[in-house]
Amino acid sequence: MKVNSFPFGELLKSSWEWTINNKILWIIAFFAGGGSYFMNMSFNSKDFESMQNIVPNMQKLQDNVTGLWVNSGAIYFVIGLIFVFGLLFFLLGLAMRASLIVSNKQLSVNEKYKFWYLVKAGFSSLPRLILMSIFWGIPNLILLGLGVLSMFNLQTMAGKILLGVIIVIGIAFNIYISLLRQNAYCFAVLENNTAWNSIINAAKLLNKNFWVLVVAALIQIGLGIAIGLGLLLVLIAVAIPFVILGGLLMFAIGSAGILVPLLLGSLVIVAVLAVLRGATSFFFNAFLTNVYWEIKK
């Protein structure tokens, strides 16, 4: 499908209407997330020099860390706790992405949805989404391992070139995955494809509609930047009254007077961020799902 004839405007409009009219789904979207998947990596000569300095000191660092771990079992507990919570939130995010895709399907045919049915449907698709994450995670692990090994040869030009090639391949691979990811999810959730077939079908769809999906991704990035700038202005506007109140209370009763407005202001800011995360996550998910349906016609 050609980019200049693709109805981006109509899809953005319908996605916006779904977002505004289904605020309850922002709760699911909050846990699903929805930022850009693109990697932002840049390397220069100073970075290479820093990497070179790492290698000679790796043994010293290892000795210090080992000693710290031996003397403090609490570090094992903290690291394990962080890992467990990180894994749980990752799995929850995958399940809620599937829930949003199911909700988009029901909204597209004006079908009434039930909140807990959507949650349940998301978790039923979770095994396939986990398997897909493993499939496109393995190449990243291999590239990471090769990158770490190449760092031991950064003193040579060949080592630097090898690391540069690995970085370029890693960036290209992750950009490609970011373009097919939502379509792969849609094939798995909406078409009941297996994890591997979902990736293959999404890759075929991407290859046929590469520039459409590139433009869709650029629209997402552009809107994300605009929303971020708007959020900054909103947070400044929200913070001003609390700053003024804190200044007055501090002048009246001392430094303790700033604690109340600081606490209230923090709660308001967190609430604003949570609402915005849910709304934008739902909007972007709806937009990319609509793009999937359009190119699949």
Residue-wise pLDDT tens for the chain (297 aa)?
678 889 999 999 999 999 999 999 999 999 997 543 333 333 343 443 444 444 444 445 445 545 544 556 667 777 888 999 999 999 999 999 999 999 999 999 999 889 999 999 999 999 999 999 999 999 999 999 988 888 887 788 877 888 899 999 999 999 999 999 999 999 999 999 999 999 999 999 999 999 999 999 999 999 999 999 998 998 888 888 888 887 787 777 766 667 777 888 888 888 989 999 999 999 999 999 999 999 998
Residue 292 falls in which region: left (phi positive, over 0), alpha (psi -120 to 50) or beta: alpha
Cβ atoms 194, 128 nearer than 8 A? yes
The rounded distance, in Å, linking the Cα atoms of 152 and 40 is 24
- 24: number of CA atoms within 13 Å, CB side? 8
| The pLDDT value given to residue 226 | 94
Q: pTM higher than 0.85, yes or no?
A: no
Helix axes 259-296, 73-108, angle to 10 degrees: 50
| 3-state DSSP assignment of residue 22 | coil
In a domain, 253, yes or no: yes
Token couple for 128: 């396939």
In a domain, 239, yes or no: yes
**Domain count for the chain:** 1
In a domain, 12, yes or no: no
Alpha carbon dihedral 234, 239, 245, 248, in 10-degree steps, equals -120
In a domain, 212, yes or no: yes
In a domain, 291, yes or no: yes
Cβ atoms 294, 43 nearer than 8 A? no
C-alpha 34 chain-centroid distance: 5
In a domain, 3, yes or no: no
The rounded distance, in Å, linking the Cα atoms of 100 and 94 is 10
Find the domain containing 130 and state its range: 19-296
| The pLDDT value given to residue 257 | 67
In a domain, 1, yes or no: no
Residue with tokens 């290859």: 207
The rounded distance, in Å, linking the Cα atoms of 265 and 64 is 41
Rounded to 5 degrees, φ, ψ at 35 are -80, 180
The rounded distance, in Å, linking the Cα atoms of 69 and 63 is 10
Express the helix, strand and coil content of the chain in percent, nearest 5 each: 90, 0, 10
The rounded distance, in Å, linking the Cα atoms of 236 and 116 is 36
Amino acid letter, residue 223: L
C-alpha 107 chain-centroid distance: 24
The rounded distance, in Å, linking the Cα atoms of 231 and 183 is 29
In a domain, 27, yes or no: yes
